[in-house]
Chain A
């Protein structure tokens, strides 16, 4: 039973346009959500996060939206740049679960020049 799902394995967008990466979860106990970015042959790096008490968090070109009733979150990147091409992982954690994060399978974003 996969508790965090990223249903789109890949996404391709044109440079300058918006990239929208989606993530769904099933466990209502999750109270913190994070996005990580991963380049080939490197470890994931933290990108942006959101607490379950909020519905939006913005950091420069990156915005994460959380819809708790739908158990859905999304990462918006605007404008997209070729350097954003990477695998993006959605992760969720629960304070009651000692900080353990549950990851989705990732979405490969390709930004075309």
Chain B
């Protein structure tokens, strides 16, 4: 069952280190979305990418955060110089196309803990 795969499932970093979160979309899906869920909150949109293009990054913090979806390989969410406030669950979702009536398929998330 080739669903959306995220790794690692859990990631622990010390303040100031870099965190790299990976997401492989479902087979045949070319659209990837990243969401962040803080404790007791809902899913907050971060960024929407297609292969080699960032379509909408309106939810990304202006500094330290970046995302890519290269022609080959998984999508990467990169957080530089992590701080305690970056501790959250990060979910990746994919869909086959642009239409709003196509539900997104989610991975099981990466739980990032900052010491």
Contacts and interface: CB of A to CB of B under 8 A. Distances in A.
Given A43-B91, A43-B109, A98-B56, A104 B42 contact: yes
Contacts of A34: 103
A107 to B, nearest CB: 10
B42 A46 contact: no
A93 B91 CA distance: 18
A46 B4 CA distance: 13
Contact of B106 (A41, A43, A94, A95): A43
A84 interface: no
Interface residues of A, number: 27
Given A43-B109, A98-B56, A103 B101 contact: no
B55 interface: yes
A15 B55 CA distance: 44
B65 interface: no
Contacts of A32: 100-101
A20 B33 CA distance: 29
A101 B101 contact: no
B25 interface: no
Interface string A85-113: 00001000111011111111110000000
Contacts of A98: 48, 55-56, 98
Interface string B56-97: 100000000000000000000000000000000001010101
Interface of A: 6, 31-32, 34, 36, 41-46, 49, 51, 89, 93-95, 97-106
21 contacts: A31-B100, A42-B108, A43-B91, A43-B93, A43-B109, A44-B106, A46-B104, A49-B103, A95-B100, A97-B56, A98-B55, A98-B56, A98-B98, A99-B48, A99-B95, A99-B97, A99-B100, A100-B33, A104-B42, A105-B42, A106-B42
A-B pairs, 4 with minimum CB distance: A43-B106, A46-B103, A105-B42, A93-B100
Given A43-B106, A45-B106, A98-B55, 6 more contacts: A43-B108, A95-B98, A98-B56, A99-B97, A100-B45, A101-B104
